[in-house]
């Protein structure tokens, strides 16, 4: 399965997908990386790995539709079958999302549907919850909405600040994104009544209590 990664910045999730492909644990080919922001560091891992890279700067287009048309054409030209958003900081319109329905995935640094949007770690800490995590999901027109494919839970520690928490969540992002993409590419992700069922899913570990006694 040919996949594209869309990003706007750092690219650590792209790196985790590239690493998984290099280790043979991603049954997909990263065929294109697109950034909507010129010269971001996130493009470097792709260039190093010899993956075709494109910058499609939203500022070069008169409106959202024209920008998304250019994205769509680039994806079609590269025979892309699944699009992975990885820190892509543009909201996509309903029309684009519908064109790629069930072939467009995103990773978000919280346990969706809680804490959609930006500054998740700050809000999680402020709320005083004991767990957060990250989610890979299919994209729907509403922001950070859509059927959940995979989640990882991260406990919050007493001394956490937004940076320490973000770093621990990111470690899990780098595990679940390649895993989820591999599940999609190998045909293990099935839709059942609008929810996702994973074929041959392994059981998770035991429940955890935070703080422990
Ligand atoms: C990640 O935290 C991801 O969950 C969110 O944007 C961030 C992108 O980080 N959607 P990176 O560019 O992959 O390092």
Residue with tokens 């072939």: 103
Q: Which is it for strands 104-108 and 29-35: parallel, antiparallel or unpaired?
A: unpaired
Of 127, 122, 147, the residue nearest 137 (C-alpha): 147
The predicted model scores a pTM of 0.97
- Compute CA 157 distance to the chain's CA centroid, rounded to the nearest angstrom: 25
> Is ligand 1 within 6 A of the CB of residue 13?
yes
Instruction: Calculate mean pLDDT across residues 71-83.
Output: 98
* pLDDT over 90 (residue 39): yes
> Is ligand 1 within 6 A of the CB of residue 144?
no
> Is ligand 1 within 6 A of the CB of residue 162?
no
Tell me: the pLDDT tens digits for 45-75? 999 999 999 999 999 999 999 999 999 999 9
What is the pLDDT, as a whole number, of residue 110? 98
Instruction: Calculate mean pLDDT across residues 25-43.
Output: 97
Q: How far is CA 77 from CA 2, 32, 71, 72, in A?
A: 11, 10, 10, 9
Cβ-based neighbours of 134, under 8 Å, separated by 6 or more: 107, 108, 109, 110, 111, 151, 152, 154, 169, 172, 173, 176
* pLDDT over 90 (residue 20): yes
Residues designated catalytic: 108
**Ligand 1 centroid from CA 73, angstroms:** 25
From the alpha carbon of 86, which atom of ligand 1 is closest? 13
Tell me: the pLDDT tens digits for 132-163? 999 999 999 999 999 999 999 999 999 999 99
**Ligand 1 centroid from CA 213, angstroms:** 33
> Is ligand 1 within 6 A of the CB of residue 174?
no
From the alpha carbon of 109, which atom of ligand 1 is closest? 4
Q: What is the mean pLDDT of the chain?
A: 97
What is the pLDDT, as a whole number, of residue 194? 83
């Amino acid at each position: 399965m040919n996949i594209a990664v869309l990003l706007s910045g750092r690219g650590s999730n792209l790196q985790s997908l590239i690493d998984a492909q290099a280790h043979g644990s991603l049954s997909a080919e990263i065929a294109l990386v697109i950034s909507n922001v010129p010269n971001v560091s996130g493009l470097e891992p792709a260039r190093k790995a010899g993956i075709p890279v494109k910058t499609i700067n939203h500022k070069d287009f008169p409106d959202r539709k024209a920008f998304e048309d250019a994205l769509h054409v680039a994806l079609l030209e590269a025979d892309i079958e699944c699009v992975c958003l990885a820190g892509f900081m543009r909201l996509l319109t309903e029309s684009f999302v519908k064109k790629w329905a069930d072939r467009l995935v995103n990773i978000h640094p919280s346990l969706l549907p809680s804490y959609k949007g930006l500054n998740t770690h700050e809000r999680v800490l402020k709320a005083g919850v004991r767990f957060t995590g990250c989610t890979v999901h299919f994209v729907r027109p509403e922001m950070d909405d859509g059927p959940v494919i995979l989640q990882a839970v991260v406990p919050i520690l007493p001394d956490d600040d937004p940076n320490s928490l973000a770093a621990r969540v990111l470690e899990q992002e780098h595990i679940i994104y390649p895993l989820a993409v591999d599940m999609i590419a190998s045909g293990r992700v099935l839709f059942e009544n609008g929810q996702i069922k994973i074929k041959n899913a392994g059981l998770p570990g035991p429940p955890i209590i935070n703080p422990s006694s």
